[in-house]
Amino acid sequence: MTATIVPPATTTEAPPARRIVRPIPTTRLVTVELRKMFTTRSGFWMLISIGVLLVIAAGSVLIFAPDSDVTYKSFATASGFPMSVILPMIAILAVTSEWSQRSGLTTFTLVPSRGRVVGAKAIATLLVGLGSVAVAFAVGALANVAGSALAGVDTVWDISLSMAPQMVLGNLVGMAIGFTLGVVLRNSAAAIVGYFVVSLVMPGILVLLAQVREWFLDLQPWIDWNYTQVALFEGATNTGEEWAMLASTTTIWIVIPLVVALLSLRRSEVK
């Protein structure tokens, strides 16, 4: 009795095609980060406070300033002052929310590339900053027209086309400082305190050091970011040396700490 060997059945069916997973586009990441800025309680009330303070600042110029100061620059400067304080706070919260609200595990699971997430946060922060500055200029323009009419003086438009970009850049530099501190510290309270130390305490120390040490007087503009930021707000950054000073302070306070913090963030454990 012989055994019959049955050959294995051959199949001509092709293996199932592997599903191609496409990465989440950057535009969607930026949209999500913008939504998080507006939907969280802290971010929402920060943005609301900007609008309220813009109106209060413009009204205070109209009430307390003499008629000679009823100009577009006075209204725009007054409107920009609250933003110079609040916008860095928004930049800080945009970064530290992943750790303070413990949403980092979800975010970095959906998007493993932490650099893309931080980049989306930076773009969203930039868009919010540009939008807020545009609103400040618009409020200043309306207040200037209304204020000059109420005061019975001519409407003065004393912000030139060269000054306006510098004022915008000054606000963006402040936001970049806050964003950098958020990436470095990754804690909302610590980053906010750090920002006030850097923006309020450090400039005073550097000015005092320049007064008591003559050799530091020429060095201060190259390392004091507040010095170059004030020059931007006043539209006084005109020469090549002044722009070089701005580049120096930006490198010291923003570029170097941000690069080091990003390298640390990419390797640190998310808890």
The Cα–Cα gap between 168 and 170 comes to: 5
Q: What is the pLDDT of residues 153-175, one digit of tens each?
A: 888 888 878 888 888 898 899 89
Tokens 């946060």, located at residue:
121
Residues of the chain above pLDDT 70, percent = 89
Any idea how long the chain is? 271
Of residues 153 and 268, more confidence is placed in 153
Q: Is the pTM of this model over 0.95?
A: no
Please say if the pLDDT value at position 53 is more than 90: no
- Read off the pLDDT band of 177 (50, 70, 90): very high
Q: Is 90 exceeded by the pLDDT of residue 42?
A: no
pLDDT value at position 19?
Answer: 64
Is the pLDDT score of 71 beyond 90? no
* pLDDT tens-place string over residues 203-235: 889 889 888 888 888 888 899 888 888 888 887
pLDDT class of 109 with cuts at 50, 70, 90: confident
73: confidence class by pLDDT, cuts 50, 70, 90: confident
CB atoms within 10 A of CB 244: 13
How many Å separate Cα 79 from the centre of its chain?
Answer: 17
Identify whether the C-beta of residue 115 lies closer than 8 Å to the C-beta of residue 172. no
Position 193 scores a pLDDT of 92
pLDDT of residue 271: 63
In percent, the amount of the chain with pLDDT more than 90 equals: 17
Cβ(183)–Cβ(259) below 8 Å: no
In the chain, the amino acid numbered 178 is G
What pLDDT, on a 0 to 100 scale, did the predictor assign at position 260?
Answer: 92
| Residue 112: band (very low, low, confident or very high) from pLDDT cuts 50, 70, 90 | confident
Is the model's pLDDT at 257 over the cut of 90? yes
Count of Cβ atoms closer than 10 Å to residue 29 Cβ: 22
pLDDT score recorded for residue 256: 94
Least confident of 52-61, 175-184, 214-223: 52-61
| pLDDT the model gives residue 167 | 86
> How far is the C-alpha of 20 from the C-alpha of 22, rounded, in Å?
6
CA distance 151 to 67: 7
The shares of helix, strand and coil residues in the chain, as percent rounded to the nearest 5, are 75, 0, 25
